[in-house]
Structure 1
Amino acid sequence: MTIVASGAEPPSATPGRGVGPLLRAWRERRRVSQLELALRADSSARHISFVETGRSRPSEEMVLRLAEHLEVPMRERNALLLAAGYAPRFPETPLDDPALEGVRAGLEQLIQGYEPYPALVVDGVYTVVAANRGIAMLLDGLPETLLAPPLNAMRLALHPEGLAPRILNLREWRGHLLHQMERQFALQRSPKLRELYDEVAAYPVPERAAEAEPAPGAPSFALPLRISHEGRTLSFVSSISTFNTPLDVTVAELAVETLLPADPATVKYLQASAP
């Protein structure tokens, strides 16, 4: 599939609100004391206290330094800068912008090179921005309403008319996906992500007498995705990769998910089905 641009999510802070309460919220979310943060940022607990209460206005450098040590996501670092009265530092370039041509080409080459095994690229709210033919094979036969752009990986996986009825260990896999989203809440504040979570968590779970038994030789080191496809059971282990040193919000929020065949039968079937 061709990479498509995804909708930008605006910063969650606005100028004039004050950066102090936001920094305090991030520090408390990370469960870091003022003293510990001061030691990490080469400052003093008193200065951190003054910043959080609004008695002292931090420099732009200090805002970025505190955000770095609190592991604040890049989008939220821009929001902190705005709240402190500074211009955003990190651009948010649309994915279809010519400036990101190298990123797009690299991602396309990566997921196409992974064929015949499935791979896709999603943004921070699981909008699918690129996918290879392995993913297209798994989605074959789904209703057009779910396949109409913009595709969303969580909806495709958990919707009762999506892949959910085909996933043989749905309760386990559903729990894994919901827990993955919950972990993201601890790292970022995203109304769109919360809205998506509430939606997919409310999807009904098809009734089954019991979860399907794992196939002989199933991996014990990671939870597999076991999915029925044309009368066969395919088994995968998921791996997610992100950019290590991004300087752009859009790039920072991209993730590449690859599905590694978890048993020889899946490898054989995918290789035999490859064009």
Structure 2
Amino acid sequence: MKGRILSIAGSDSGGGAGIQADIKAITALGGYAMTAVTALTAQNTHGVHGVEVTHPDFVALQIRTACDDFGVDAIKTGMLVDEAIVDRVADTIEGYSGVPLVVDPVMVAKGGAKLLAPGAIAALFGRLIPMATVLTPNIPEAELLLGRTIRSVDDMIAGAHALRERGANAVVLKGGHLESDMITDVLLDADGVKTYPAPRIATRHTHGTGCTLASAIATGLAQGLDLDASLRRARSYLRAAIEGAPGYGTLAGPVDHAAGIDPNRFA
């Protein structure tokens, strides 16, 4: 086990996304997962049916008590709910400067439920995004952050540049929402643009893929990989997890976070 990764995110009672996906992905890639829960959700493959928000001070307490005892090698943020939590998280993780930070701007659930208050977008840009090693939006999230439509890989590259101009140090813009037989992710950092195309897997089991990819990237950074290597490994892991999806649920089902783990080794 190598790398201590703190996930600051919401809990998914269905187990496919959020904190649960983060813990599973980090563990599958050999890291040690710690958590600060920002909200509880009642959630399944049909969508989010209820949310209970954690007090910002308690979110901060979770962060400090985990990191100050165990130490921390990377931090990943997911669902942050509102401006108060964004500000409190930013205040708290400033105390762990130099630790890689992956900001996954979770804004809308796959079923359409709003997971970030509109007023919190300014707080993300003003506080958290400039601190991040990498920002990992999907296309709908990038559209909301930028107020523009994205309909092509060229649009994705332009959007990534716009996000860097607004303070992001690096951007991984995920291309799964484009209507294409190929899915192309875009990485933009100080070294320029890289694209990562792969054939689309025909499946409805994609719940939690954004959380999983961001956590996998954070795990790579915690283990000393650079951003490109972290992304490449994260994409390979996620592809195997999607291909091995167990088929649970009736709509957007979870992936197989245990991809690559052989339970028979313990027999």
Larger Rg: 1
TM-score using structure 2 length: 0.25
Counting helix residues as a fraction of each chain, which structure ranks higher?
1
